[in-house]
Structure formats: structure tokens, C-alpha cells
Amino acid sequence: MPIENPAHPGDFIRSEIVEPPGLSVIAAAALGVTRPGSSSFLNGKAGLAGDRSQRIENAFGVKMDTRMRMQSAYEIAQTRMREKLNRVQRVGWAA
């Protein structure tokens, strides 16, 4: 059963990789992403792109595949929560 409200991958990276050794957002930005970009991602305001995920894997050894699945699960959950706002009618096909 899927998690109804999975964590944003930035939460995981911040709490499991950046904070334990005492890295700052500026240090995280050393991955080739701007400080505002790193801050937005680590605070759950921006999504995880493939290139950023690859840089995190190269720098910290956390597999890209896992984080990209986390991003996908997060986006699906967010979309499901907004589903009521989506007023698209199902299309019926005549046989």
C-alpha cells in the first residue's frame, strides 16, 4: 500500500545527509547548485531533478534511483491530494 503523504526527498537529504555531519546549505550548494536552489530543495519547495540526484549520489553515495522514486511518490501523493480541483470528465469511447 502506498504512503498517503510521503516526505519530500529534500527532507530526507536534509535530515539524513546534510544535518548529521553539520553541513550547511552553502556546503550542500557546493554540489554545483546555487544556494537558493539548494535551500528550496532542502526545504521541500523545489523538486529533485536527475542531475542534482546524480550529484548527491556522487558526493554522498546515496543511490539516485532511491531518491528519484521518493520524488515520484511525493509528486503522485501531491497530485492525488489536489485531485478534487481537477475537473476533467472521463472520456467514454463508443464501440
Per-residue confidence (pLDDT) for residue 8, from 0 to 100: 92
Domain assignment of residue 89, yes or no: no
Which CATH number does the domain housing residue 49 bear?
1.10.260.40
pTM: 0.75
Long-range CB pairs of 38-43 (<8 Å, 24+ gap) are 41/10, 41/13, 42/10, 42/11, 42/13, 42/14, 42/18, 43/10, 43/14
Residue 18 domain-assigned?
yes
What is the domain extent for residue 47? 9-83
pLDDT of residue 94: 61
pLDDT tens-digit readout, 44-87 = 999 988 888 888 888 888 889 998 999 999 999 998 888 777 77
Spatial CA neighbour of 4 closest among 68, 70, 81, 72: 81
